Copies of this chain bind each other. A is one copy, B any other.
Amino acid sequence: MDTALKALAEPRRREILKLVWATELPASLIAASFDDVTRSAISQHLGVLRDAALVVERRDGVHRMYRANRAEMKRVRRFLEEYWDDSLERLRDVAESAHREKGIPNE
């Protein structure tokens, strides 16, 4: 999960992900849509996304077709939503117990 979040923290990779969200694309086309970076860099980004399971690869002759792994994306999304929503209650106790243990001044 951490791998996925880190992968998403990079703007270039988010851009790639958007490209292959709805359509399957070969690496060459993905790389071609970035003019300020080499094909190699994109290939490496694709590797990171693949390792994070955010993207799936399928070989088609000389091409490697990529598309977003929406199942995994959903997992990330759920994780974050639980993070926002659950943190409040779940951690109030932790904070308060720490409060007591260390004996913080005033309040």
Q: By the criterion CB–CB under 8 Å, are B107 and A29 in contact?
A: no
- Provided the pairs A9-B8, A22-B94 are in contact, do residues A71 and B29 lie with their beta carbons within 8 angstroms? no
Q: By the criterion CB–CB under 8 Å, are B92 and A22 in contact?
A: yes
Main secondary structure of the interface of A (DSSP, over half): helix
Shortest distance from the beta carbon of A75 to any chain B beta carbon, whole Å: 9
Chain A, 43-69, CB within 8 A of any chain B CB? 56, 63, 68-69
- Provided the pairs A2-B11, A71-B106, A104-B71 are in contact, do residues A97 and B22 lie with their beta carbons within 8 angstroms? yes
Q: By the criterion CB–CB under 8 Å, are B33 and A98 in contact?
A: yes
Q: By the criterion CB–CB under 8 Å, are A102 and B22 in contact?
A: no
Interface residues of A (CB under 8 A from B): 2, 5-6, 8-9, 11, 14, 17-23, 25-26, 28-29, 32-33, 56, 63, 68-71, 73-74, 77, 80, 83-84, 87-99, 102, 104-107
